Amino acid sequence: MKLYNIQRKLFSVSSIPIIDLAGLRAGSPREMKSVGNQIDQANKEIGFFLVKNTGFDFKFIDKTLKSCEEFFLSDMSNKMKCRIDEPPECKPWGYFPRNMELLQRSKDFNKKEKGTYLNDINEQYNMQNDNAKAGLVQRVFPNYPESFKPLFTKYWKDCEGLSNLLLKGFALGLDVNQDFFENKFDHCASCLRVLYYPEAVKLQPGQFRASEHTDYGALTVLYSTAPGLQLKTRKGDWIDVEVPPEHFVINIGDLMAFWTNDRWVSTPHRVISKDVENPVKRFSFAFFHNPNSEIIVDCVNSCKDENNPWRYQQITSGEFIMKKFKASIGEI
């Protein structure tokens, strides 16, 4: 048995399922279980689904996108006020200038020989949990625009709420108590990653806006302003993820695959530009819902038995996520 050796399953994709969260938000136990079953099916087949009726105010999201654009188009001196380099454990947070990260490297972190790739074309601002129990560095905000701090502080909390709601659906889909994950995320190490993919920056052959990777944690809540997200089938084909208005993309990460003993799949994905010569501007808000850093990820009881033992080894959430992050910036 190898640590982190996720067992990939074959699947075919005709469309990404859309799940209505109304029954999970304010439904009867029967309706909530029905949503849980839909989540279970989607996560077993592809690890991706879309959600609607999330309770989000999309006029608020429009304001947040405007503030996001003002930040990324501001002077570098304004953005670098949010850069955090030290101490080393604080590096995942704050502003990342263009071309600093290469997600494809995170696939190689457990290999003796590393691949050679071109860095991804994007800029980032990463916001962490401000709950003191999480033990993370203090958030740093830009001077401009003034709206950035209140808008993204609220967006972070809204995504945390949606993610915790989804975890109830996850638990119901796994046939465990709906509060199974609650105490594992009460001071989560979650990250809101705000991404800017600049327009008219030509991509070199073999270069991506976000290269092939699997997400690290439990689940991801994604909202984007332009197409480009693709997921990879087990046959190696890339499938476009088409998102209707006022929907979010949800996918699971590696830790959830560990928790479920590969009942659910953490699927490779990437972000491309259809026009590599003249890419369009794209903004994305990716909320990575990660467990409390000290949580030891073990197998959910409903996902193992004597004929299907757990495939992995115990590991703390924080240790695993930090190793993947360090690999993505070339430090391991």
For 230-263, the DSSP string reads EEE-TTS-EEE----TT-EEEEE-HHHHHHTTTS
Packed helices 29-45 and 148-173: angle between N→C axes, nearest 10 degrees? 90
How would you write the pLDDT of the chain (332 residues) with one tens digit per residue?
333 443 434 334 457 999 999 999 988 999 999 999 999 999 999 999 999 999 999 999 999 999 999 999 999 999 999 998 776 666 788 999 887 766 776 665 455 555 567 888 999 999 999 999 999 889 999 999 999 999 999 999 999 999 999 999 999 999 999 999 999 999 999 999 999 999 988 888 888 999 999 999 999 999 999 999 999 987 889 999 999 999 999 999 999 999 999 999 999 999 999 888 889 999 999 999 999 999 999 999 999 999 999 999 898 999 999 888 888 877 65
Q: Total domain count for the chain?
A: 1
Residues 238, 171: Cα–Cα separation, whole Å: 29
pTM, 2 dp: 0.92
Q: Confirm whether 3 is domain-assigned.
A: no
216 close to 288: Cβ distance less than 8 angstroms: yes
For residue 159, the enclosing domain spans 18-328
> Phi-psi region for residue 135, left (φ > 0), alpha (ψ -120 to 50) or beta?
left
Cα 262 from chain centroid? 18
* CATH code, domain carrying 204: 2.60.120.330
Q: Confirm whether 2 is domain-assigned.
A: no
The enclosing H or E element of 191 equals strand 191-197
Q: Confirm whether 279 is domain-assigned.
A: yes
Closest among 158, 164, 190 to 93, alpha carbons compared: 190
Residues 25, 220: Cα–Cα separation, whole Å: 18
**Paired residues of 126 in beta bridges:** 94, 193
Q: Confirm whether 49 is domain-assigned.
A: yes
Q: Confirm whether 9 is domain-assigned.
A: no
258 close to 185: Cβ distance less than 8 angstroms: no
40 close to 173: Cβ distance less than 8 angstroms: yes
Q: Confirm whether 7 is domain-assigned.
A: no
